[in-house]
Amino acid sequence: MSGVSRAVKWLAAVFLLVASVAIESIGGSENLRASKRPTAPETRTDPASIPAATDPAPVTFNHDIAPIVYHACALCHRPGEAGPFSLLSYSDAKMRARLIAEVTKRRIMPPWLPDEQGPKFADDLRLTENEIALIQKWVQQGAPEGDPAENSAPPHFVEGWQLGKPDTIVRATRPYALAAGGTDSYWNFVFRNPVDRTRWLKAIEIRPGDKRLVHHANVLVDRQETARHEEKEPGAGFSGMELTIESEVFDPDSHFLFWKPGSIPYTEPEGMALRLDKDTDLVLNTHLQPSGKRETLQPTLGLYFTDKPATLHPVLLQMENDGMLNIPSGDKAFVVTDEFVLPVDVDALAIYPHAHYLGKDMSATATLPDGSVKTLIHIANWDLNWQAVYRYAQPVSLPSGTKISMRFTYDNSAENIRNPNHPPQMVRAGNRATDEMAHLWIQVLPRESAGSGIDPRVLIQEAMARHMLEKNPEDFAAHYNLGALLQMRGDLPGSIANFQAAVALRVQDPTANNALGAVLLAAERPAEAVPHLKVALQNRPDYFDAHYNLGNALAAQGDFAGALGEFRAAVKLNPEDANAEANLGSALAETGNRQEAKAHYLRALRLNPNLEYARENLQQLDSATPQ
Amino acid sequence: MYRFSFTFLQVIFLWVVLPVSAFAQSSATDLSGKAVDPLDSSRGQVAVLIFVRTDCPVSNRYAVLIQRLSAEFSGKAMFWLIYPSKAESAAMIRKHERDFGYKLPALRDPQHLLVKQSHIEITPEAAVFDSQRRLVYHGRIDNWYEDIGRSRSAATTHELHDAIQAALGGQDAPVKTAPAVGCYLSDTK
């Protein structure tokens, strides 16, 4: 008999799984960035060498403005991109001159939320004060074209797929019809099983459809195919601003797969590829804005693979404090905080703050063990519509013991024009646009500590789960995840206690009951495991793992007839599982059906020729069978 | 008498042979190029002029509301879409009306005659003339947009609606003007 119990699942409470596949340089290896930024016009002058705005010389498009516009605007303001009009020539710019002056002066454009505090971010398109002053002066002077001899060519952009033809292109099954008017829509497209075997994803290009309609989009990796159950019928998609995705194993989602206007797909550095398995779904979560006419969107994803499996494993630190979100109506400055102490040394690679329409000031700081304080991000005027994943230009080194502090301020007064409630109302945490969120994700790469023997990701996840439970002792997912982590570390009593706490919070939950049953089985307490596995199956009759575990629990107590039924059910649900086949063989052998047992051992060995205990069982069966 | 009559005919004749483009010098035109004065053509009704552009995302997002308002005041107020950009041809405007489901008469105003008469600087912006052809309101449709790129989930004040209602009841508009948010007309010259 095999004593193997099914690995317990990892519940990742990932809302909005995000991941702009984009790390410019990791620990000094900077060979991997494969972005195709437009070639900057050669005439773009260093800001320091731009004549001061007080210079009496006339400011012209050809001499002064084209380099700014082509660098900072044309990425989106060109045909097929998100900008509502093109800025690729003098006449384009002249037709919008006053608008350009207005929106640049007030830093509405280019859109960029973080201010200068904190480390530099990659792809920061913010204009310098000097550039803004030049534009002002140009418009005041009547927006002259200038000397044609100084005319610089508009930037060259890569047409079509930005990284060349993808290895796999998947298209949403069905288009989504966006109404002409009304409030913004949040729509999810499920791409079912885009790969037919395990592949290593090094880049993804998200083509959300008409880019003028899409504020932002996130790809979620759905390893458990949970989101597809939200669809009324396969391919229909479903509505919703935030999602929760379950993960099968300890494999916390750790990459930002994010699209915003002007996004350029990036290639992961070597060793940072993302694993995709054959039964994984990708879910595209989109934020759409009606244009005034009825529109349809049918997004496509371009997937780029590498042969090199991941060797570097980043983690998403999830800071949050939704529990504090009880924002009284009229409150202009409601503060939500969270603090987390790093249990290991890490390099921070990217940061993604997230709130809804009441968020106003958002900051994250790091207090290092030496007492020094680093700003990780500061946004003085949050705007959901321009949210983004911000990647650090250089990794930010944060040693073990660093305290990360998140501080978000919310404005629930009528003066906040984005307030979705009129008049303002008490707002709590939730997934709808009228609810709020207080989330901050930081993608970190743990430094390998020599000789500790424990995956630093486990230490981070364990610290995060414990931190969640400090904030809310009734956090089901935190108890569950802590149980899974402790099981992984071999702490069975700790694991059992946390799964028991999770089951106490959700008595009928099939996943938690199965996990508790599995660890009780591992602790050689099969009699206690059985009732939990039965509850799991009452609530989810087609639960392969629970049938398998219950089969083992019954067999461990000598109830081979009962075990036989469970393994038969398991094999029926998943005919490709070698362990289930082998255990079915053992249950048959134990109940005297040797002929059939042999067939299942052989089938198990065809599925997995390295299944040693099946081979041994088979030999035992052959030697015991009278010829 | 003969001579006088002859002169009169001569004037008529000259009008008829004048090229269409010459009309545009002194009037807005419909999409066939015919001169149209929307205030005359509103036949004593309240006239509502809404200035839009085919390529202004803010005015485009108002299409649904503009169509709804015109339906609400159907038979009482005459709605006109005014396209002030010289660069927008009749064909572009026809396509725009089709795309956005507009069922309102459209006029081109490349010389900005209606723009000046209505004190308009932005698209989208509206002007309301009472039955005596007096400008009683000009400005934003409502306060949906607070600024470029900053909009409410829904408007909380409805200046155009209130101004039309006031004009129909022979009252003064609650406000004579309110600042619009959108695309600058000065950029279209």
* CA–CA gap between residue A553 and residue A576 (Å, rounded): 22
A315: closest CA among A354, A343, A279? A343
Q: How would DSSP label each residue in A524-552?
A: T-HHHHHHHHHHHHHH-TT-HHHHHHHHH
The contact set of A with B (CB < 8 A) is 84-85, 94-99, 102-103, 106, 108-109, 111, 180-184, 212, 289-294, 357, 383, 385-386, 417-420, 422, 433
A56 pLDDT higher than 50? yes
CB B135 within 8 A of CB B177: no
* Probe site for chain A from B187, B188, B189 (most A CB atoms < 10 A): B187
* CA–CA gap between residue B161 and residue B175 (Å, rounded): 11
Q: What is the pLDDT of residue A498?
A: 96
Q: Per DSSP, what are the bridge partners of residue A200? A: A275, A306
Q: What is the pLDDT of residue B5?
A: 33
Question: Longest Cα pair distance anywhere in chain B, in angstroms?
Answer: 69
Q: What is the pLDDT of residues A143-153, one digit of tens each?
A: 999 998 888 88
Interchain proximity A183–B154, CB inside 8 Å: yes
Task: Give B-chain residues touching A433 at CB under 8 angstroms.
Answer: 153
Strands A176-178 and A281-288 come out as: unpaired
User: Which residue of chain A is at minimal alpha-carbon distance from B189?
Assistant: A95
Q: Tell me which residue has tokens 């009452």.
A: A538
Residues whose CB is less than 8 angstroms from the CB of residue A290 and which lie 6 or more positions away in sequence, other chains included: A178, A179, A180, A181, A182, A184, A185, A213, B61, B64
CB A268 within 8 A of CB A209: no
Q: What is the pLDDT of residue B25?
A: 44
A205 pLDDT higher than 70? yes
What is the architecture, at CATH level 2, of domain A317-453?
Answer: Sandwich (2.60)
Model confidence band, residue A590 (pLDDT cutoffs 50, 70, 90): very high
Structure tokens at A210: 């008409």
Q: What is the pLDDT of residue B65?
A: 95
* Probe site for chain A from B92, B153, B157 (most A CB atoms < 10 A): B153
User: Which residue of chain A is at minimal alpha-carbon distance from B87?
Assistant: A95
Distance from CA of A98 to the nearest CA of B (A): 6
B55 pLDDT higher than 70? yes
A596 pLDDT higher than 90? yes
Least confident among A224-228, A539-543, A577-581, B93-97: A224-228
Beta-carbon count within 10 A of A164 CB:
13
A251 pLDDT higher than 70? no
A47 pLDDT higher than 60? no
* CA–CA gap between residue B37 and residue B45 (Å, rounded): 13
CATH 2.60.40.1930 fits domain A461-624: no
Model confidence band, residue A385 (pLDDT cutoffs 50, 70, 90): confident
CB A567 within 8 A of CB A589: no
Domain boundaries, chain B: 26-188
Interchain proximity A99–B62, CB inside 8 Å: no
CB A220 within 8 A of CB A253: yes
Hey, what CATH class is B26-188 in?
alpha beta
B98-107 CB burial, b ≥16 within 10 A, e <16: ebbebebbbb
* CA–CA gap between residue A362 and residue A407 (Å, rounded): 6
Mean pLDDT of A264-283: 89
What is the architecture, at CATH level 2, of domain A168-306?
Answer: Sandwich (2.60)
Task: Give B-chain residues touching A419 at CB under 8 angstroms.
Answer: 152-153
Q: What is the pLDDT of residues A558-573, one digit of tens each?
A: 999 999 999 999 999 9
Residues whose CB is less than 8 angstroms from the CB of residue A396 and which lie 6 or more positions away in sequence, other chains included: A119, A347, A348, A366, A374, A376
Distance from CA of A204 to the nearest CA of B (A): 28
Q: What is the pLDDT of residues A83-123, one digit of tens each?
A: 888 999 999 999 899 999 999 999 999 999 999 888 999 98
Same fold, A168-306 and A317-453: yes
* Probe site for chain B from A140, A291, A296, A421 (most B CB atoms < 10 A): A291
Domain boundaries, chain A: 47-150, 168-306, 317-453, 461-624
* CA–CA gap between residue A587 and residue A595 (Å, rounded): 12
Which one of B64, B87, B187 has the shortest CB-CB distance to A98?
A: B187
Model confidence band, residue A188 (pLDDT cutoffs 50, 70, 90): very high
Interchain proximity B187–A108, CB inside 8 Å: no
Q: What is the pLDDT of residue A225?
A: 85
Query: Between the CA of residue A524 and those of A532, A564, A570, what are the distances in Å?
Result: 15, 20, 21
Residues above pLDDT 90, as percent of chain A: 61
Model confidence band, residue A54 (pLDDT cutoffs 50, 70, 90): low
Q: Per DSSP, what are the bridge partners of residue B129? A: B47, B135
Mean pLDDT of A18-34: 26
Whole-number average pLDDT of chain A: 86
User: Which residue of chain A is at minimal alpha-carbon distance from B56?
Assistant: A84
A9: closest CA among A438, A487, A346? A487
